Chain A
Amino acid sequence: AQRVTQPEKLLSVFKGAPVELKCNYSYSGSPELFWYVQYSRQRLQLLLRHISRESIKGFTADLNKGETSFHLKKPFAQEEDSAMYYCALSGDTGNQFYFGTGTSLTVIP
C-alpha cells in the first residue's frame, strides 16, 4: 500500500505566485512527516520536518491529521525554488521510512 502520495508529478507556477505541493499519507500510528528537496544535479536534502514547525526558505508545511496531509506551501515562489520535492513519512515503530514519488516544481520567470 502506498504510504505517501504526491498526486502531482509536475507542477509549474509563475514567479511570485503562491505554490502548494500536495502530500497525503496513510499511516495508522503517529508518523513524523518530512519534506526533502533535490535541486538540479545536487543531492537530496532535508527541507523541513513537521515536528520542528519551522519555515525554511519561506516554505511551511502543516500536518493535518484529520485530512492526513502534509502539504508544502510558499506564498511567493522564486526561480531558485525549481527542484524536485519529496514528501516522506517516518513510522513510529522501527524501520519504517516511506518516500513519495516526488513532485518536480518549475518556477517560470
Chain B
Amino acid sequence: DTAVSQTPKYLVTQMGNDKSIKCEQNLGHDTMYWYKQDSKKFLKIMFSYNNKELIINETVPNRFSPKSPDKAHLNLHINSLELGDSAVYFCASSQAMTGNQETQYFGPGTRLLVL
C-alpha cells in the first residue's frame, strides 16, 4: 500500500552516464514533484507536474529532463551525469498545487552517487 514509491533506492554510476529514476504514486493525486536534497539536508524543488503538464521548472541544468507518461508517474532522466549530481532525490505528490493546505506525500528518496 505504498503511497509514493521510487526506484531505485540506490544508484551508483560513472560520470558521463545517462540514468533514470522512476516515481509512482497511487494516491490519485494530480501533482507530482522532484526535489533534490543536498549534503546539508536542504530540499530544493526541481520540477513540478500537474496533470502531466510541466508547472515548475526551477533553474536546473537541461541535462535533467522529467517525463510524465501519466499523472501517476513522474520519471527523472539525467544525461551526462556529473559529480555534483550526487545527492538524494525525492519524489512527492499532492492533490493540487494551490494554497498551503495541500499535503505533499514524499517518496523514500533515491540516493545517487556519481563516481
Contacts and interface: CB of A to CB of B under 8 A. Distances in A.
A94 B111 contact: yes
Contacts of A36: 43
Contacts, number: 58
A95 to B, nearest CB: 4
Given A44-B45, A84-B100, A104-B100, A99 B9 contact: no
Q: How large is the interface on A (under 10, 10 to 19, 20 to 34, 35 or more residues)?
A: 20 to 34
Contacts of A9: 103
B114 to A, nearest CB: 15
Contact of B88 (A34, A84, A97): A97
Contacts of B42: 45-46
Interface residues of B, number: 24
Contacts of B10: 94-95
B100 A43 contact: no
A40 interface: yes
A98 B105 CA distance: 10
Contacts of A99: 104, 106
Interface string B94-115: 0000011111111011110000
Interface string A32-56: 0010101111011110010000000
Interface of B: 9-10, 35, 37, 40-45, 88, 90, 99-106, 108-111
